[in-house]
Structure 1
């Protein structure tokens, strides 16, 4: 089993970026993953601590966000976003939040709490778990969902971090509580990732077009991927072997 894809999402629910390698740090989320999030008008999040996803603009409520792609210039902390229905946008999330708020308005429902500001949480990140997590996804499980649904799906529906290829779907659920060695890092699997309506949106168009939650019920659950904590930091590169310890 080997790592096939590495993905990060610098601004939670607003884009994904493919990497060839990453250096994980013990006790932290993936570097730059969900370090920023868009708090809406009713949010109590201020960036001083982790906050539940209900405080933020997200794909389950605004499917159009799923079609955003991103690229982060780490040196300057400039984020570049693209969307099929919006002009390209480059901005600094800490100092130019107003640019993002204006840009994203056509992509969010106007009858819900609207995007208001961007908050930042270094190291910990605004992951969906109440601990700093990295998500591990199995391409075999993804293919099983495709087969059950009857057509191809983008892996970006799952918004995961580390993707490995195997011959056995759902094997990752059997590893719960185990340590996994990948490249120079070790992660410990802590919980399955329960899924929401964000998975029903097509990452190319931002339109809801697939009953992912209903499809997952074929296996008597609505989970995909597992959340893990980094217990030993180190580099991970595409092609690295995944070894269960």
Structure 2
């Protein structure tokens, strides 16, 4: 089955901003460059400053829906990230050198009854993905449209926080991909797992307000909270929006 890459996204600070890319270079066994490069450990976290840790140690949109409305732009050469939110002034900062500026900026977006963000951490050898392996997340735009039609509400694709969006497929085809290989250009990605979704997807990426029962819809119409798949880069190379993608 053949599709096309409809969008490429990365999330420099886990759960704190999405960034659209036109093209990217994938490396074997690694996440998309600068995807989940940092994460925000909360005040009750038990995590080192250099290694991967489970998502419950970090501030996330499942508990703080306003985080879903953050967008990001990275400047890899300068080592900076610019964050934007409809209710906050733009912030450009160096996550490795000016974490306090970020913590001050994000604190008003946090519910008062949640553990407060305490520090930025960076995994030295991989992105801090939700999976315990270095993954690239992939969704099928037709599946999102099908779910939207069933609940009578448009679901912006950025709700799913994917790295790669594929167009031109039949809805839910990705459910059959586990163990198969996705070819995009000269790259190869082995599809490993379905993605189990959390309450973050209920929040509107434009407003940060919960306005869709995405988990209830998935359970009702699909019998599961899974949406999209995790893959591992087996052969690296450059991929770009509009590239042909094929599952074998």
Q: Which residue of 2 aligns with 1:180?
A: 182
Q: Identify unmatched segments of 5+ residues in structure 2.
A: none
Alignment check: 8 A CA contact 1:36 1:119 kept: yes
Secondary structure of the corresponding residue to residue 89 of structure 1: strand
Q: Which residue of 1 aligns with 2:141?
A: 139
Aligned length: 245
Deviations 1:81-116 (A, max 9, x none): 000000110110011000111111111112221000
Q: Which residue of 2 aligns with 1:227?
A: 230
Secondary structure of the corresponding residue to residue 33 of structure 2: coil
Q: CA deviation at 1:49?
A: 1.4
TM-score in terms of structure 2 length = 0.97
RMSD: 0.9
Q: CA deviation at 1:44?
A: 1.4
Alignment check: 8 A CA contact 2:23 2:240 kept: yes
TM-score in terms of structure 1 length = 0.98
Alignment of 1:116-127 (within 5 A): 116-127=118-129
* Runs of at least 4 residues off by over 4 Å: none
Alignment of 1:196-207 (within 5 A): 196-207=198-209
d(CA) in 1 for partners of 2:13 and 2:124?
Answer: 12
d(CA) in 2 for partners of 1:228 and 1:45?
Answer: 25
Q: CA deviation at 1:207?
A: 0.4
Alignment of 1:49-60 (within 5 A): 49-60=51-62
Q: CA deviation at 1:71?
A: 0.2
2:41 to 19, 39, 42: 39
Q: CA deviation at 1:123?
A: 4.3
Deviations 1:19-54 (A, max 9, x none): 000100000011100010000001112232110000
Q: Identify unmatched segments of 5+ residues in structure 1.
A: none
Deviations 1:52-76 (A, max 9, x none): 0001000000000000000000001
d(CA) in 2 for partners of 1:223 and 1:89?
Answer: 34
Alignment check: 8 A CA contact 1:69 1:82 kept: yes
Alignment of 1:42-191 (within 5 A): 42-191=44-193
Q: Which residue of 2 aligns with 1:241?
A: 244
Alignment check: 8 A CA contact 2:51 2:122 kept: no
d(CA) in 2 for partners of 1:75 and 1:184?
Answer: 26
Deviations 1:160-186 (A, max 9, x none): 000111241111110110111011210
d(CA) in 2 for partners of 1:180 and 1:5?
Answer: 16
